[in-house]
Protein backbone atom coordinates (compact mmCIF):
# COMPACT_ATOMS: atom_id res chain seq x y z
CA UNK A 1 0.00 0.00 0.00
CA UNK A 2 1.13 3.52 -0.75
CA UNK A 3 1.50 6.36 1.76
CA UNK A 4 -1.83 7.92 2.67
CA UNK A 5 -3.81 10.22 4.95
CA UNK A 6 -6.33 8.39 7.18
CA UNK A 7 -9.23 10.42 8.60
CA UNK A 8 -10.13 9.47 12.20
CA UNK A 9 -13.94 9.46 12.06
CA UNK A 10 -14.46 9.88 15.81
CA UNK A 11 -18.23 10.37 15.63
CA UNK A 12 -20.67 8.79 18.05
CA UNK A 13 -23.17 7.49 15.51
CA UNK A 14 -23.56 6.26 11.95
CA UNK A 15 -25.58 9.24 10.69
CA UNK A 16 -22.99 11.86 11.71
CA UNK A 17 -20.28 9.76 10.07
CA UNK A 18 -22.16 9.32 6.80
CA UNK A 19 -23.15 13.04 6.76
CA UNK A 20 -19.47 13.88 7.18
CA UNK A 21 -18.40 11.58 4.33
CA UNK A 22 -21.17 13.02 2.11
CA UNK A 23 -19.25 16.34 2.10
CA UNK A 24 -16.55 14.80 -0.13
CA UNK A 25 -16.99 14.95 -3.92
CA UNK A 26 -17.85 11.66 -5.68
CA UNK A 27 -14.32 10.95 -6.88
CA UNK A 28 -12.66 11.53 -3.48
CA UNK A 29 -12.69 8.49 -1.22
CA UNK A 30 -10.50 9.13 1.83
CA UNK A 31 -9.05 6.23 3.86
CA UNK A 32 -11.24 6.18 7.01
CA UNK A 33 -10.44 5.11 10.57
CA UNK A 34 -13.30 3.64 12.61
CA UNK A 35 -12.53 3.52 16.32
CA UNK A 36 -14.11 1.89 19.36
CA UNK A 37 -16.74 4.58 19.97
CA UNK A 38 -18.29 4.31 16.51
CA UNK A 39 -17.88 0.53 16.18
CA UNK A 40 -19.40 -0.28 19.56
CA UNK A 41 -22.19 2.25 19.01
CA UNK A 42 -23.10 1.58 15.38
CA UNK A 43 -21.93 -2.05 15.05
CA UNK A 44 -20.38 -3.86 12.08
CA UNK A 45 -23.01 -2.39 9.76
CA UNK A 46 -21.20 0.97 9.71
CA UNK A 47 -18.09 -0.81 8.39
CA UNK A 48 -20.12 -2.40 5.58
CA UNK A 49 -21.81 0.91 4.73
CA UNK A 50 -18.56 2.88 4.51
CA UNK A 51 -16.86 0.07 2.58
CA UNK A 52 -19.72 -0.09 0.08
CA UNK A 53 -19.14 3.62 -0.64
CA UNK A 54 -15.62 2.77 -1.81
CA UNK A 55 -13.48 3.83 1.17
CA UNK A 56 -10.54 1.89 2.62
CA UNK A 57 -11.04 1.21 6.33
CA UNK A 58 -8.66 1.08 9.29
CA UNK A 59 -10.61 -0.63 12.10
CA UNK A 60 -8.89 0.69 15.22
CA UNK A 61 -10.08 -1.65 18.01
CA UNK A 62 -6.66 -2.24 19.65
CA UNK A 63 -7.28 -5.88 20.64
CA UNK A 64 -5.48 -7.15 23.77
CA UNK A 65 -6.57 -10.53 25.19
CA UNK A 66 -5.44 -14.15 25.34
CA UNK A 67 -4.20 -15.48 21.97
CA UNK A 68 -7.20 -17.77 21.36
CA UNK A 69 -9.72 -14.97 21.87
CA UNK A 70 -7.76 -12.58 19.66
CA UNK A 71 -7.42 -15.21 16.90
CA UNK A 72 -11.17 -15.87 16.83
CA UNK A 73 -12.06 -12.18 16.99
CA UNK A 74 -9.72 -11.41 14.09
CA UNK A 75 -11.44 -14.13 12.04
CA UNK A 76 -14.71 -12.26 12.51
CA UNK A 77 -13.14 -8.89 11.64
CA UNK A 78 -11.40 -10.12 8.48
CA UNK A 79 -14.81 -11.15 7.10
CA UNK A 80 -15.76 -7.45 7.22
CA UNK A 81 -13.39 -6.72 4.32
CA UNK A 82 -11.41 -4.09 6.24
CA UNK A 83 -8.02 -2.90 4.97
CA UNK A 84 -6.13 -2.39 8.25
CA UNK A 85 -6.60 -3.25 11.93
CA UNK A 86 -4.54 -3.42 15.11
CA UNK A 87 -3.64 -5.04 18.43
CA UNK A 88 -1.65 -3.93 21.48
CA UNK A 89 1.97 -5.10 21.24
CA UNK A 90 1.81 -5.53 25.05
CA UNK A 91 -0.25 -8.67 24.39
CA UNK A 92 3.05 -10.46 23.53
CA UNK A 93 4.45 -12.11 20.40
CA UNK A 94 2.17 -15.17 20.80
CA UNK A 95 -0.92 -12.97 20.84
CA UNK A 96 0.26 -11.03 17.78
CA UNK A 97 0.94 -14.29 15.90
CA UNK A 98 -2.55 -15.51 16.80
CA UNK A 99 -4.01 -12.22 15.54
CA UNK A 100 -2.23 -12.67 12.22
CA UNK A 101 -3.49 -16.27 11.88
CA UNK A 102 -7.06 -15.23 12.62
CA UNK A 103 -6.92 -12.33 10.20
CA UNK A 104 -5.64 -14.39 7.26
CA UNK A 105 -8.55 -15.35 4.99
CA UNK A 106 -8.92 -18.80 3.40
CA UNK A 107 -7.52 -17.42 0.10
CA UNK A 108 -4.38 -16.20 1.90
CA UNK A 109 -5.24 -12.48 1.69
CA UNK A 110 -5.48 -10.37 4.83
CA UNK A 111 -5.78 -6.76 6.01
CA UNK A 112 -2.64 -4.91 7.12
CA UNK A 113 -1.99 -5.62 10.81
CA UNK A 114 -0.18 -3.10 13.00
CA UNK A 115 0.54 -3.03 16.74
CA UNK A 116 0.11 -0.15 19.16
CA UNK A 117 3.43 0.34 20.97
CA UNK A 118 2.92 2.73 23.89
CA UNK A 119 -0.12 4.98 23.78
CA UNK A 120 0.91 8.61 23.35
CA UNK A 121 -1.06 9.32 26.54
CA UNK A 122 1.35 7.11 28.57
CA UNK A 123 4.24 9.09 30.03
CA UNK A 124 7.55 7.49 30.95
CA UNK A 125 6.91 8.35 34.61
CA UNK A 126 3.56 6.50 34.67
CA UNK A 127 4.97 3.55 32.75
CA UNK A 128 7.79 3.18 35.27
CA UNK A 129 5.87 3.97 38.48
CA UNK A 130 2.48 2.35 37.77
CA UNK A 131 3.39 -0.46 35.37
CA UNK A 132 6.85 -1.12 36.85
CA UNK A 133 8.44 -1.13 33.39
CA UNK A 134 11.96 0.10 34.14
CA UNK A 135 13.15 0.83 30.58
CA UNK A 136 12.89 4.22 28.91
CA UNK A 137 9.81 4.85 26.79
CA UNK A 138 11.97 4.92 23.63
CA UNK A 139 13.51 1.51 24.44
CA UNK A 140 10.06 0.08 25.18
CA UNK A 141 8.70 1.34 21.86
CA UNK A 142 11.73 -0.05 20.01
CA UNK A 143 11.34 -3.47 21.68
CA UNK A 144 7.55 -3.61 21.15
CA UNK A 145 8.07 -2.75 17.48
CA UNK A 146 10.73 -5.46 17.17
CA UNK A 147 8.35 -7.99 18.79
CA UNK A 148 5.64 -7.00 16.30
CA UNK A 149 8.07 -7.56 13.43
CA UNK A 150 9.12 -10.96 14.88
CA UNK A 151 5.43 -11.95 15.02
CA UNK A 152 5.10 -11.12 11.31
CA UNK A 153 3.07 -7.90 11.61
CA UNK A 154 3.35 -5.11 9.04
CA UNK A 155 4.11 -2.17 11.31
CA UNK A 156 3.19 -0.18 14.39
CA UNK A 157 1.12 2.77 15.54
CA UNK A 158 3.38 5.34 17.18
CA UNK A 159 3.97 9.07 17.54
CA UNK A 160 5.54 10.52 14.37
CA UNK A 161 8.45 11.56 16.57
CA UNK A 162 9.11 7.85 17.21
CA UNK A 163 8.91 6.71 13.58
CA UNK A 164 12.69 6.89 13.13
CA UNK A 165 13.31 4.66 16.19
CA UNK A 166 10.95 2.06 14.70
CA UNK A 167 12.46 2.21 11.19
CA UNK A 168 15.99 1.94 12.57
CA UNK A 169 15.18 -1.12 14.72
CA UNK A 170 12.90 -2.94 12.26
CA UNK A 171 13.33 -1.79 8.63
CA UNK A 172 12.40 1.13 6.42
CA UNK A 173 9.59 -1.02 4.97
CA UNK A 174 8.00 -1.61 8.40
CA UNK A 175 4.99 0.74 8.55
CA UNK A 176 4.83 3.67 10.95
CA UNK A 177 1.17 4.69 11.31
CA UNK A 178 1.14 7.99 13.15
CA UNK A 179 -1.57 10.04 14.88
CA UNK A 180 -0.65 13.32 16.61
CA UNK A 181 -0.77 15.44 13.43
CA UNK A 182 -1.53 19.17 13.43
CA UNK A 183 -1.21 21.96 10.86
CA UNK A 184 1.43 24.54 11.77
CA UNK A 185 -1.33 27.12 12.38
CA UNK A 186 -3.90 24.95 14.27
CA UNK A 187 -4.46 24.12 17.96
CA UNK A 188 -2.89 21.07 19.64
CA UNK A 189 -6.14 20.07 21.48
CA UNK A 190 -5.19 17.29 23.95
CA UNK A 191 -2.32 15.95 21.83
CA UNK A 192 1.17 16.47 23.23
CA UNK A 193 3.74 14.96 20.88
CA UNK A 194 2.58 16.47 17.62
CA UNK A 195 3.99 17.41 14.24
CA UNK A 196 2.80 18.71 10.85
CA UNK A 197 1.92 16.52 7.85
CA UNK A 198 5.02 17.75 5.98
CA UNK A 199 7.34 16.99 8.90
CA UNK A 200 5.71 13.56 9.40
CA UNK A 201 6.61 12.75 5.81
CA UNK A 202 10.21 13.88 6.34
CA UNK A 203 10.68 11.72 9.43
CA UNK A 204 9.26 8.57 7.86
CA UNK A 205 5.52 8.19 8.59
CA UNK A 206 3.77 5.89 6.12
CA UNK A 207 0.20 6.71 7.15
CA UNK A 208 -0.84 9.79 9.10
CA UNK A 209 -4.04 9.55 11.16
CA UNK A 210 -5.77 12.92 11.34
CA UNK A 211 -8.97 13.60 13.28
CA UNK A 212 -10.04 17.03 14.52
CA UNK A 213 -7.90 19.15 12.14
CA UNK A 214 -10.18 17.71 9.41
CA UNK A 215 -13.43 16.70 11.16
CA UNK A 216 -13.76 19.97 13.11
CA UNK A 217 -12.59 22.25 10.28
CA UNK A 218 -15.01 24.80 8.81
CA UNK A 219 -14.25 23.21 5.42
CA UNK A 220 -13.28 19.54 6.02
CA UNK A 221 -12.69 18.81 2.33
CA UNK A 222 -10.22 21.71 2.04
CA UNK A 223 -8.51 20.59 5.27
CA UNK A 224 -8.23 17.01 3.95
CA UNK A 225 -6.82 18.24 0.62
CA UNK A 226 -4.30 20.40 2.48
CA UNK A 227 -3.22 17.38 4.54
CA UNK A 228 -2.81 15.25 1.43
CA UNK A 229 -0.76 17.86 -0.41
CA UNK A 230 1.49 18.55 2.62
CA UNK A 231 2.00 14.85 3.37
CA UNK A 232 2.27 13.43 -0.15
CA UNK A 233 3.98 16.50 -1.61
Q: Tell me the closest approach of the beta carbon of residue 106 to ligand C5P, in angstroms.
A: 31
Quick one: 155 or 179, whose CB is closer to ligand C5P?
A: 179
193 binds ligand C5P (CB under 6 A): no
- Please name the residues in contact with 55: beta carbons below 8 A apart, sequence gap of 6 or more: 21, 29, 30, 31, 32
Candidates 5, 8, 21, 59; binder of ligand C5P (CB under 6 A) is 8
Structural contact between residues 12 and 34, judged by C-beta atoms closer than 8 angstroms: no
**Interface size with ligand C5P, residues (CB under 6 A):** 15
10 binds ligand C5P (CB under 6 A): yes
Residue of minimal Cβ distance to ligand C5P:
211
Structural contact between residues 3 and 227, judged by C-beta atoms closer than 8 angstroms: no
Quick one: 100 or 209, whose CB is closer to ligand C5P?
A: 209
Q: Look at residues 227, 193, 231, 232 and name the one whose alpha carbon lies nearest to residue 24.
A: 227
| Contacts to ligand C5P from residues 79-108, by CB under 6 A | none
Quick one: 189 or 202, whose CB is closer to ligand C5P?
A: 189
**Of 62, 72, 167, 168, catalytic:** 62
| Contacts to ligand C5P from residues 24-43, by CB under 6 A | 35
DSSP-derived 3-state class of residue 9: coil
141 binds ligand C5P (CB under 6 A): no
Residue ranges of alpha helices (H) inside 79-187 are: 92-103, 124-129, 137-150, 163-169
HSE of 148 in the Cβ direction (CA atoms, 13 Å)? 32
Amino acid sequence: MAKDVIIACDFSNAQSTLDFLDKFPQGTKPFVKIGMELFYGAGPEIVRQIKSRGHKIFLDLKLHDIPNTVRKTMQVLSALDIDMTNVHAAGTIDMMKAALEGLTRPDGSRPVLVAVTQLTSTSQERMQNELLIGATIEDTISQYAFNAKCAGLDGVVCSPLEASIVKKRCSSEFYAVTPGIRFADSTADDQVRITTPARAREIGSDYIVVGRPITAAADPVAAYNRCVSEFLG
